[in-house]
A and B are shown apart, each in its own frame.
Chain A
């Protein structure tokens, strides 16, 4: 099993604001540390027009990381493809794969925040159709690149998995999916691949919230506000408000959803985390992108978690 380190959005969060010049200097240092600790890859996330300056241009950051490192893979987790020009993404990826000596990987997904689609003049409702049109072109261009660029499809639903299956592309599963949801999705994926006559890859990637610590109580107190911030942000973008539903009731439902998702965090010492990650390997996920950066954690705490995760890597990579 391979472990990737993630996911980095270089956000200047309200509870710990920093200038973006420092945040981008930090991520380059984190990439150097990840390489020195033996991680397979580092993963970047994308959003647009958000108040905390969430990173909007992953391939540009990837370029800087490729320039700062020599072995570490760099991936997008995930690029919101329907908002982009697929020709631009393909041309960018082809060039950067050559300059990065094959270390670039693209994870792509639909995106969901209306304001982002609106900024680029795209109807959110068209995102599925756009993805259907773009994904084959991107996959073809990336396969023809020298070196080729691996393309993973970010998924949280069976429909998205079936789209990937028809093209024989591996999955990049969402961090909030339960083991049963993952099994159901893989069943749907394999069935769709068989129906399309496609020989699908046997292993996939999974994103998971992971924090390795020898002092759970101390680090949980530090993490909780960051996790709440992150989940409120993502939830506020994606959690649907029912028609005619009052805002107070919607917020109550949203908070309940956030509480449920906070339980997805895998937190503990290296032995505990290793055992939990092995469960996902058995499901068919051979690359796990461990999210240990939530917002903008204190550097010392973050690096302690990276070093703990590197001990997990030593265990699970054998």
Chain B
């Protein structure tokens, strides 16, 4: 089991606050700290902020990114550079937010999401690729731009062989698409809801409230590995969540008097 802190909203956040949360996340034994942009509210820079935070903490840093709003190659480039500047410690959770989509004048149509995720996956795979989708053609091969190569590649590539990417799928078709392209799946925790099944090497992710009980989290995982990302609004909640969850989730069958740090 892995435990992440967050996502901490970037809206109104300061560097001092993020670094304070980061230090507390390390001290409380979290595997990663997550940040969240909110482009519906004009708050972008999720991966740049992750690159900033990665300079202050030794653990992994995750970015919740509003997807589908701009060209996927720009997202692939942001991921690669954030990963390189963090020496390979970046993780990503993609979400397709209707309000952000509306603000950007973008689309949430299935065909567009399909194109977006396919181009993103191809770019991050290291392939020299071309893509001919309904909405995206990469390279575009526009006559006025010629001569231009028939294929392109993301260069530089990511530091990690594969950056872990999850998708918060709001529809069955999006979950299928995520599985096809090798992304992990994430969903919000509700009691009785299981952790999404692993996809390839990525275990399912559950976005949990701060007060999630270890037994409930373990019940959601069942026999599967899982990645629990636990919310916190202040430093005290970071500390308490780490102490309550780290032991039981990592090694569940020790008695509570040993496994829950006081």
Kindly specify which of A118-126, A165-173, A252-260 makes contact with the partner chain: A118-126
Kindly specify which of A54-62, A194-202, A203-211, A308-316 makes contact with the partner chain: A54-62
Query: Which residues of chain A are near B142, meaning CB under 8 Å?
Result: 117-118, 121-123
Q: Is B255 an interface residue (CB 8 A)?
A: no
- Which residue from B15, B48, B155 sits with its C-beta under 8 Å from A51? B155
Q: Is B82 an interface residue (CB 8 A)?
A: yes
Query: Which residues of chain A are near B54, meaning CB under 8 Å?
Result: 64, 67
Query: Which residues of chain A are near B81, meaning CB under 8 Å?
Result: 24, 55-57, 60-61
Query: Which residues of chain A are near B159, meaning CB under 8 Å?
Result: 20-21
Kindly specify which of B71-79, B171-179, B221-229 makes contact with the partner chain: B71-79
Residue of B nearest to A60 (CB): B81
Residue of B nearest to A87 (CB): B104
Query: Which residues of chain A are near B156, meaning CB under 8 Å?
Result: 10, 12, 20, 53, 55
Bound-complex Cα distance A99 to B11 (A): 10
Bound-complex Cα distance A88 to B71 (A): 10
Q: Is A131 an interface residue (CB 8 A)?
A: no
Instruction: Report whether A119 and B139 are in contact in the complex, using a CB–CB cutoff of 8 Å.
Output: yes
Q: Is A49 an interface residue (CB 8 A)?
A: yes
Q: Give the contacts of B73-121 with A (CB-CB under 8 A).
A: 73-74, 77-78, 80-82, 84-88, 103-104
Q: Give the contacts of A95-116 with B (CB-CB under 8 A).
A: 95-96, 98-101, 114-115
Query: Which residues of chain B are near A84, meaning CB under 8 Å?
Result: 70, 74
Bound-complex Cα distance A272 to B82 (A): 39
Query: Which residues of chain B are near A216, meaning CB under 8 Å?
Result: none
Q: Is A85 an interface residue (CB 8 A)?
A: yes
Query: Which residues of chain B are near A23, meaning CB under 8 Å?
Result: 84
Q: Is A263 an interface residue (CB 8 A)?
A: no
Interface size class of B (residues with CB under 8 A): 35 or more
Using A99-B18, A124-B144 as known contacts, say yes or no to A115 and B104 having CB atoms under 8 A apart: no
Bound-complex Cα distance A92 to B86 (A): 18
Instruction: Report whether B51 and A88 are in contact in the complex, using a CB–CB cutoff of 8 Å.
Output: no
- Which residue from B18, B45, B49, B88 sits with its C-beta under 8 Å from A21? B88
Residue of B nearest to A69 (CB): B55
Q: Give the contacts of B33-49 with A (CB-CB under 8 A).
A: 37, 39, 42-45, 47-49
Instruction: Report whether B147 and A95 are in contact in the complex, using a CB–CB cutoff of 8 Å.
Output: no
Q: Give the contacts of A45-77 with B (CB-CB under 8 A).
A: 48-51, 53, 55-57, 59-64, 66-68
- Which residue from A49, A51, A57, A87 sits with its C-beta under 8 Å from B78? A57
Instruction: Report whether B144 and A125 are in contact in the complex, using a CB–CB cutoff of 8 Å.
Output: yes
Instruction: Report whether A85 and B140 are in contact in the complex, using a CB–CB cutoff of 8 Å.
Output: no
Instruction: Report whether A117 and B145 are in contact in the complex, using a CB–CB cutoff of 8 Å.
Output: yes
Q: Is B165 an interface residue (CB 8 A)?
A: no
Bound-complex Cα distance A93 to B39 (A): 12
Q: Is B127 an interface residue (CB 8 A)?
A: no
Instruction: Report whether A85 and B74 are in contact in the complex, using a CB–CB cutoff of 8 Å.
Output: yes
Interface size class of A (residues with CB under 8 A): 35 or more
Q: Is A25 an interface residue (CB 8 A)?
A: yes
Residue-by-residue, is A119-137 near B (CB-CB < 8 Å gives 1, otherwise 0)? 1111111000000000000
Query: Which residues of chain B are near A61, meaning CB under 8 Å?
Result: 51, 81, 85
Chain A nearest CB from B112 CB (Å) reads 13
Instruction: Report whether B49 and A63 are in contact in the complex, using a CB–CB cutoff of 8 Å.
Output: yes
Q: Is B148 an interface residue (CB 8 A)?
A: yes
Instruction: Report whether A95 and B74 are in contact in the complex, using a CB–CB cutoff of 8 Å.
Output: no
Instruction: Report whether B152 and A49 are in contact in the complex, using a CB–CB cutoff of 8 Å.
Output: yes
Q: Is A91 an interface residue (CB 8 A)?
A: yes
Bound-complex Cα distance A55 to B69 (A): 22
Q: Is A94 an interface residue (CB 8 A)?
A: yes
Q: Is B262 an interface residue (CB 8 A)?
A: no
Using A20-B156, A21-B84, A101-B15 as known contacts, say yes or no to A88 and B55 having CB atoms under 8 A apart: no
Interface centre among A51, A91, A117 (most CB of B within 10 A): A91
Query: Which residues of chain A are near B88, meaning CB under 8 Å?
Result: 21
Interface centre among B44, B52, B70, B84 (most CB of A within 10 A): B84
Interchain Cβ contacts under 8 Å between A and B, 21 examples: A28-B55, A60-B85, A64-B51, A64-B54, A67-B15, A67-B55, A84-B70, A87-B103, A91-B39, A91-B42, A91-B45, A94-B43, A96-B49, A114-B146, A115-B145, A117-B145, A119-B148, A119-B152, A120-B74, A122-B142, A123-B144
Apart from A21-B84, A93-B45: 4 A-B pairs, beta carbons within 8 A: A56-B155, A64-B85, A118-B141, A124-B144
Tell me the B residues contacting A by CB distance below 8 Å: 10, 13-15, 18, 37, 39, 42-45, 47-56, 69-71, 73-74, 77-78, 80-82, 84-88, 103-104, 136-142, 144-149, 152-153, 155-157, 159
